[in-house]
Homo-oligomer: A and B are copies of this chain.
Amino acid sequence: MNILITSAGRRSYLINYFKEALNGNGEVHASNSLWSDALQCADKAVITPLINHRQYIQFLIDYCLKNKIKAIIPLFDFDLWKLSVNKEKFDKHNIKLVVSDSKVINICNDKWNTYKFLKSIKINTPESSLSILESQKKIKRGLINYPLIIKPRWGTGSLSTYQVNNYHELIILFNKIKQEIASNHIKYESSQDIEKSIIIQEKINGSEYGVDIFNDLNSNYLTSVSKKKLSMRAGETDSAIIIKNKSISIIAKTLSNKLKHVANLDVDIIYNNNKYYVIDLNCRFGGQYPFSHLAGVNFPKAIINMLNQKKVNSKFLLYNTGTIGIKQINPIILKNEVS
């Protein structure tokens, strides 16, 4: 079976994990709108149009048919959304999308929906507002106070994320983020509601945690792997230690059950004053997965099992606590892109 990893970006390690998972029984293809080391790692690679290009979906379908690709695994939020709303087109050609339902993607990609969803299922999350006026009302009512965090509602990573310590900073940085959104790829998703494209959140101080929550392709819970983050770089987890934590496990099972996502869900958490606050839901393999993988789980192998209609081998869900992982910087020569 051949598979395609779209928006592969810089995640060469995931390409390698899937190559190991297929173990020669099929090819790992990787696609991206720019050439990268992840594409270089793949068995075969292709440069696609931009995700918002009107030809993107048809391009992928044509590529899959030509290369006998049976499943697509996207790695980028906007790509998840684009694929999920076009699921029927892929179904027609028997190309399986390892992607959640578009309703689920809309909860994860839109931080305002994330906030409302988490509140509705009674999971702690930072108090949030979509306007300066609303945030000021919450301050007056004593619900929140400075410092606040402001960031793009449809943002990823640490992109345009600022801490503001007072009203003046809030006004200035709110306008600054507006300009930054307009000059960034997130303008496409932000255009859904440009007047409400910035979210203002209570700042939760505390240690940062993460959890990979793994469902099967029918959205049933399989396992979760919790970790304490030890360092961050460019908004991504740079090193982490694998832990067992009852509170996080309960959150993981609740999220799995209520969100009903497909395959991996990457969740960011902050612990403060005996409470775990869920900060972010990413409905895909995220920057914390390699730490779970190094500790023993193998979600790529489990996904290949499921795509082959086999029962997931339980050893792919086992892991050791205490494992510390770090993302080493490994400079390599980037060869010319495929012609």
Contacts and interface: CB of A to CB of B under 8 A. Distances in A.
A76 B109 CA distance: 38
Interface residue tally on A, bucketed by range: 20 to 34
Nearest to A234: B234
B333 A324 contact: yes
Contacts of A36: 326
B329 A325 contact: no
Given A165-B176, A172-B168, A233-B234, A331 B328 contact: yes
B329 A333 contact: no
B324 A37 contact: no
B330 A325 contact: no
Contact of A327 (B291, B324, B329): B329
Contacts of A291: 331
A173 B175 CA distance: 13
Q: Is the interface of A mostly helix, strand, loop or mixed?
A: mixed
Nearest to A322: B336
Contacts of A10: 328-329
A294 to B, nearest CB: 5
A328 B325 contact: no
Contact of A169 (B172, B329, B332): B172
A159 to B, nearest CB: 12
Interface in A158-185: 165, 168-169, 172-173, 176, 179
A66 to B, nearest CB: 28
Interface in A24-69: 36-37
A239 interface: yes
Nearest to A233: B234
A293 B37 CA distance: 18
A209 B11 CA distance: 25
Nearest to A335: B324
Contacts of A335: 324
B328 A333 contact: no
Nearest to A158: B234
A156 to B, nearest CB: 14
B165 A294 contact: no
Contacts of A330: 13, 327-330
A157 B127 CA distance: 32
Contacts of A12: 328-329
Contacts of A11: 329
Nearest to A241: B334
B176 A169 contact: yes
A323 interface: yes
14 contacts: A10-B329, A165-B179, A234-B234, A294-B333, A324-B335, A325-B331, A325-B334, A326-B331, A326-B332, A326-B334, A327-B331, A328-B330, A329-B329, A330-B330
List 6 A-B pairs, minimum CB-CB distance, nearest first. A290-B331, A330-B330, A234-B234, A324-B334, A328-B330, A172-B172
Interface of A: 10-13, 36-37, 165, 168-169, 172-173, 176, 179, 233-234, 239, 290-291, 293-294, 323-335
